[in-house]
Amino acid sequence: MLDTSEATAGIGAKPARAADDGRPRPPLDLLIWDAPNIDMTLSTVIGARPTAASRPRFDAIAAWFVEGAGGAETAPDVPDVEACVFANIPPQPGSLQRWVEALRGFGYSVFARPKSQPDDDIDQDMLDHIAVRQHSHRLRRLVVFSGDGRNFAEPLEELVRQGTEVVVVAFSEVAGYAIGSDLLQFIDIEDVPGAFVEPLDRVRLDALPPDGAWLRPTRSLREFVAGFTARRNG
């Protein structure tokens, strides 16, 4: 596992070729997983609370990521690989302890922050870790699993300008910032081989059948109107 104690260098800083002590920076492929965002957007696209069958398979995603870095080989021209999951942990974590231990067993580092307030998040923690790795390594490829364009679009595009290959992996329904970017690469998470046990119950606008498709509502009409009326009268 890579050391995470190095000093942070800003994402906007000019990348260096050598570490502060003069040693060459080893190449690195880095995966960042925004757990709150992926979980929330998964619920949105399938219109239901995710189940074990509809959640992503981290083992298959790890295999896909490592293969993209050159496989399991160790050679001077094959980059180091690091995969990190960032998660907010509620006061009563329930089964999350088993989930975290499973991730660690698959080779992922996990950054867990307590979530005591609704607006507690881990966005800056993810950006800080990317900056740490930009300082300690030559960041060759960055794969970001997140549909959060508000926080990621600008810094990720700046990394591309500095020479890092940046791939955004998310659901096409909620990743307009990456799909519309001239600099970022985009992959729908369902296109990662083996990412899901079975196809998700969703209709993608970028993969419509020739005869069209119905997109059912994700909440009932009465439920929406009840909430709308309550807000209007409140």
The per-residue pLDDT string of the chain (234 residues; one tens digit each, 9 = 90 and over) reads 455 444 334 444 333 345 555 678 899 999 999 999 999 999 988 888 888 888 999 999 999 999 999 876 666 668 899 999 999 887 776 778 898 999 999 999 999 988 777 666 789 999 999 999 999 999 999 999 999 999 999 999 999 999 999 999 999 988 999 999 999 999 999 999 999 998 888 877 777 778 887 877 777 899 889 988 988 887
Q: Is residue 218 part of a domain?
A: no
182: domain CATH number? 3.40.50.1010
Q: What is the pTM (predicted TM-score) of this model?
A: 0.81
The domain in which residue 117 lies consists of: 27-198
Q: Is residue 77 part of a domain?
A: yes
The per-residue pLDDT for 28 is 96
- Three-state SS string over the chain comes to CCCCCCCCCCCCCCCCCECCCCCECCEEEEEEEEHHHHHHHHHHHHCCCCCCCCCCCHHHHHHHHHHHCCCCCCCCCCCEEEEEEEEEECCCCCCHHHHHHHHHHCCCEEEEEECCCCCCCCHHHHHHHHHHHHHHCEEEEEEEECCCHHHHHHHHHHHHHCCCEEEEEECHHHCHHHHCCCCCEEEEHHHCCCCCCCCCCCCCHHHCCCCCCCCCCCCCHHHHHHHHHHHHHC
The per-residue pLDDT for 91 is 73
Please count the structural domains in the chain.
1
Q: Is residue 88 part of a domain?
A: yes
Q: Is residue 12 part of a domain?
A: no
The per-residue pLDDT for 3 is 52
The per-residue pLDDT for 49 is 86
Q: Is residue 165 part of a domain?
A: yes
Q: Is residue 19 part of a domain?
A: no
